[in-house]
A and B are shown apart, each in its own frame.
Chain A
Amino acid sequence: MAKGRELKGRIKSIEGTRKITRSMEMVATSKLKRAQDRVVAARPYARALEAVIADLYSPELAERFPLLRQPESGAQGDMPKSGGRAAVLLLTSNQGLAGAFNANLIREARNLLARLAAGGVETELHIVGRKGIGFFRYIGAKIASSRTDIGDKPAAAHGSELVDGLMNAFIEKKLDALYIVYAKYNSPLSTPPVAERVLPVTPPERKGAARDYLLFPNAEEILTALLPLYVRNAVYRALVETVAGEQGARRTAMKAATDNAGDILNVLRRTYNRARQAQITQEIAEIVGGAEALSG
Chain B
Amino acid sequence: MLKVSVISPEKVLYEGEASSVVAPAFDGEVGILTGHAPMITALGRGTLRVDGGAGNQRFIVEGGFLQVVDDQVRVVTEQAKAG
Enumerate chain A interface residues (CB-CB to B < 8 A): 38, 41-42, 44-45, 48-49, 52, 55-56, 155-156, 159-160, 211-217, 221-222, 225-226, 229, 232-233, 236
Report the number of A-B residue pairs with Cβ-Cβ less than 8 Å: 79
Q: Which of B10, B39, B69 has the most CB of A within 10 A?
A: B10
Report yes or no: B42 in contact with A236, Cβ–Cβ below 8 A: no
Task: Label chain A's interface by main secondary structure.
Answer: helix
Once A156-B78, A213-B39, A214-B39 are accepted as A-B contacts, the answer to whether A44 and B69 lie under 8 Å apart by CB is no
* CB closest residue in chain B, given A43: B12
Is B25 a contact partner of A48 (Cβ separation < 8 A)?
no
A45 surroundings in chain B (CB, below 8 A): 7-10, 12, 76
- What residues of chain A lie closer than 8 Å to B39, measured between beta carbons? 213-216
**How many residues does chain B have at the interface if contact means C-beta atoms less than 8 Å apart?**
25
Asked if residues B26 and A217 are in contact (CB atoms below 8 Å), the reply is yes
Q: Assuming A216-B42, A217-B27, is B74 touching A48 (CB within 8 A)?
A: yes
6 further A-B contacts with Cβ under 8 Å, apart from A48-B67, A214-B37, A216-B26, are A41-B10, A41-B11, A48-B7, A48-B76, A56-B40, A233-B9
Q: How far is the CA of A48 from the CA of B25 in the complex (A)?
A: 18
Q: Once the chains are docked, how many angstroms separate the CA of A73 from the CA of B41?
A: 35
- Give the complex CA separation of A38 and B10 in angstroms: 7
Verify B9–A42 contact, CB threshold 8 A. yes
- Measured CB to CB, the closest approach of chain A to B7, in angstroms, equals 5
Cα A52 to Cα B69 with chains together (Å): 11
Closest to A160 in B: B78
Instruction: Determine whether the beta carbon of A236 is less than 8 Å from that of B9.
Output: yes
Find chain A residues with CB under 8 A from B27 CB.
Answer: 216-217
B:18-72 near A, CB below 8 Å: 25-27, 30, 37-42, 63-65, 67, 69
A225 contacts B10, C-beta separation under 8 Å: no
Partner of B38, one of A48, A159, A212: A212
- A49–B7 Cα distance when bound, in Å, is 10
Chain A residues whose CB sits within 8 angstroms of the CB of B64 once the complex forms: 225-226, 229
Task: Report B-chain residues with C-beta under 8 Å of the C-beta of A225.
Answer: 42, 63-65
Contact of A44 among B7, B63, B67 (CB under 8 A): B7
Name 13 interchain pairs, CB-CB below 8 A, sorted by A: A45-B7, A45-B10, A52-B40, A52-B67, A156-B9, A216-B25, A216-B39, A217-B26, A217-B27, A222-B40, A222-B42, A226-B64, A229-B64
Shortest beta-carbon contacts, A-B, top 8: A156-B9, A216-B41, A41-B11, A214-B39, A48-B76, A213-B38, A213-B40, A45-B7
Instruction: From known contacts A56-B40, A214-B38, A226-B65, infer whether A232 and B78 are also in contact, taking CB-CB under 8 Å.
Output: yes
